[in-house]
Chains A and B, each alone.
Chain A
Amino acid sequence: MSADTRTAEAAEAAGAVEAAEFVSVTGWGRTAPTTARLLRPRTPGEVAAAVRGWGARGGIARGLGRAYGDAAQNAGGSVLDMTALGRIRTIDAEAGLVVCDAGVSLHRLMEVLLPLGWFVPVTPGTRYVTVGGAIGADIHGKNHHAHGSFSRHVRSLELLTADGEILHVVPGTDLFDATAGGMGLTGVILSATVRLHPVETSLMSVDTERATDLDDLMARLSATDHRYRYSVAWIDLLARGRALGRAVLTRAEHAPLDALPPRARRSRRTPLDFRPGQLPAAPGFVPEGLLGRTTVGLFNELWYRRAPRSRTGELQRISTYFHPLDGVPHWNRIYGRGGFVQYQFVVGYGHEEVLRRIVRRISRRGCPSFLAVLKRFGESDPGWLSFPMPGWTLALDIPAGLPGLAAFLDELDEEVASAGGRVCLAKDSRLRPELLAAMYPRLSEFRSLRAGLDPRGVFTSDLSRRLAL
């Protein structure tokens, strides 16, 4: 396989609609490509027809392909590109509710909702995820400690199940809890009703501070996280010795109208404007190993030094605070042809020693990871396979070609699992299946619900095959 294999992206660009072509599909990390028939339904009726028509190898819904691993690929079967189901159906601007198709992106929702004074309840580090994907992966954001994951804000959803029925699913039911974070394996989410958050402006009021080492960072986060709606720390995993775990914390609130300087209030731009900027795309070919210890170490040094020691109330755009990488289309190409893996785990409060040990090990090993992120999760979410649980979560990107990485991450998994923690399925591409049940105690309930709902395995993905979900 080489780089010129047609990708799902390319097929999309070429407008391959009904033509059910076999194309190579990968996740955002660009590892482990497999081929599948890519279908692009435009209506719920076409989704139902596609599900009825796919063969023994089943199918899976796919949004904008931001899951890092193999959750939205299905070797030899079908993949439903849901982005053509992109209608926002109704907006209740009084109550702050939106009803939309599953293929609508959070980017689109922001474009439409911000001028009306509403914001999405949860956003991950990218706006380019669909509502269906957000529920299927039960995404979390920088406000998890305060507001939980995405599905916590879902009032109801429509789900097309294996027998072709469309069910109205509401929170508090087994089917809802299996679907939220269920990685698309209970059916195809067609639409959802989502509760929104009111905002006065489209700007963020950001407090920045530096932490000199991991203990300092954890102390600061523990002591003051509850005062912020959004909180996250960028952590330098290449720093060693006394600087081990040094970090830059950025915590934020939606800026209220009176926080804007008078000049901004008078300007022609309204306070609720949403105009994210965009840089040129990352080039198609990047030599392997460009992101080594030296380059990433240099980047980390600059990133840390450039952050203010302490600054409060800085006004930033939503895209700057939440989605810095969205400004560079195809940024995932910077890791070259070999792609990268994202490792994200959580360990519960009380297991800080495990977190420290893992950070030490990553630092000692010199994993060239930039933009590693540490944050605190709040309450667990109802989804049976939802990732967040109360505790510390660390996420880092690592080039897949790093020698010995596979075995190294297996060892970290063992530490995480033995502390009662888990890794995130939307980001996984390499977990040992044997560890899954320890990490997700409700796995057997998920499996038995699926066995009843979809005995023939109509909904199947590479992830579900790999981990026997």
Chain B
Amino acid sequence: MKDAFGTPQSLLVLGGTSEIGLATARRLIARRARTVWLAGRPSRALENAAAELRTLGADVHTVAFDALDPTAHEQVLGKIFAEGDIDMVLLAFGVLGDQANDEAEPLAAVRVAQTNYTGAVSASLVCAGALQAQGHGSIVVLSSVAGERARRANFIYGSSKAGLDAFAQGLGDALHGTGVHVMVVRPGFVRTKMTAGLAEAPLATTPEAVATAIEQGLRRRSETVWVPGALRFVMSALRHVPRPVFRRLPD
């Protein structure tokens, strides 16, 4: 169960090798989380991540989960919920893709969209149903500022996050009053292996900062969290910049 501060005791991370996901898990283990499920494609990295979290004192399980195989989601995730209540589901999987390459190779672009959007739609609906039956729980969806307004430089990734973001907001409205809380997290540029080698955007942040913002958002039962918080205002201004100007802004 979550406590009065919204801190979960059990946690399911979809995208079990995600740096933001693991930073969040570490932070929540330091508070109350004792059971952690790391879901991802079976790999040494996934097992290593689990081993590391175990050293912090949590009971950690790994489970094979593939965002690109939605037909299996019901079965894979159902098994986890059958083991006991999950207080919080963190949807942390996603790929950045390679914009230049993906524009030339439509199938690669489709994979980005399928992972980030279609896979998330299916996984979060399965989890939402299970949480609703529990009568409590949070779904925390990692969106991105890139989804707020698609930019020339990464509109394939951006559009997939835009779809995910809109979906998660709608899901939050649909679940309103059921005891299940949906929180959309919109980080800016996060320094991770996903962004390694890319030019850093202004207001760049870290996985740890995102984790802190998530913990705070849980306490406040927020519906939207920007990381860093200042991005809320930056993006609300950028949203209204005319297209011809927006197009010419530096990447």
- Please determine whether B179 and A35 come into contact, CB atoms closer than 8 angstroms: yes
Chain B residues whose C-beta falls within 8 Å of the C-beta of A407 in the assembled complex: 31
Of the listed stretches B4-12, B14-22, B99-107, B158-166, chain A binds B4-12
Of the listed stretches B41-49, B65-73, B129-137, B149-157, chain A binds B129-137
B225 to chain A, nearest CB (A): 15
Q: Is A138 an interface residue (CB 8 A)?
A: no
B residues contacting the other copy or chain, number (CB 8 A):
24
Per-residue CB contact flags for chain A residues 288-332 toward chain B (1 = under 8 Å, else 0) read 000000000000000000000000000000000000000000000
Q: Is B79 an interface residue (CB 8 A)?
A: no
- Please determine whether A35 and B5 come into contact, CB atoms closer than 8 angstroms: no
Given contacts A76-B134, A77-B135, contact A35 B177 (CB under 8 A): yes
A residues contacting the other copy or chain, number (CB 8 A):
35
- Please determine whether A24 and B179 come into contact, CB atoms closer than 8 angstroms: yes
Interface residues of A in 6-47 (CB under 8 A from B): 6, 22, 24, 29, 31-36
Chain A residues whose C-beta falls within 8 Å of the C-beta of B179 in the assembled complex: 1, 22, 24, 33-35, 75-76
Per-residue CB contact flags for chain B residues 182-226 toward chain A (1 = under 8 Å, else 0) read 000000000000000000000000000000000000011100000
Query: Which residue on B lies nearest to A36, using beta carbons?
Result: B135
- Please determine whether B135 and A5 come into contact, CB atoms closer than 8 angstroms: no
Q: Is B126 an interface residue (CB 8 A)?
A: no
B127 to chain A, nearest CB (A): 14
A373 to chain B, nearest CB (A): 20
Query: Which residue on B lies nearest to A434, using beta carbons?
Result: B34
Given contacts A76-B179, A465-B85, contact A1 B4 (CB under 8 A): no
The CA of A34 and the CA of B175, in the complex, are separated in Å by 12
Chain B residues whose C-beta falls within 8 Å of the C-beta of A338 in the assembled complex: 220
Chain A residues whose C-beta falls within 8 Å of the C-beta of B136 in the assembled complex: 32, 34-35, 75-76, 462
- Please determine whether B2 and A32 come into contact, CB atoms closer than 8 angstroms: yes
Query: Which residue on A lies nearest to B133, using beta carbons?
Result: A76
- Please determine whether B4 and A400 come into contact, CB atoms closer than 8 angstroms: yes
Chain A residues whose C-beta falls within 8 Å of the C-beta of B76 in the assembled complex: none
B229 to chain A, nearest CB (A): 14
- Please determine whether B3 and A32 come into contact, CB atoms closer than 8 angstroms: yes
Q: Is A339 an interface residue (CB 8 A)?
A: yes
Query: Which residue on A lies nearest to B6, using beta carbons?
Result: A32
Contact of B181 among A1, A70, A74 (CB under 8 A): A1
Chain B residues whose C-beta falls within 8 Å of the C-beta of A32 in the assembled complex: 1-4, 6, 136
User: Measuring CB to CB, which residues of chain B are less than 8 angstroms from any residue of chain A?
Assistant: 1-7, 9, 31-32, 34, 85, 133-136, 176-179, 181, 219-221
* A and B contact pairs by CB, cutoff 8 A, 11 listed: A2-B176, A22-B178, A29-B4, A34-B136, A76-B133, A76-B136, A76-B179, A338-B220, A341-B4, A406-B31, A406-B219
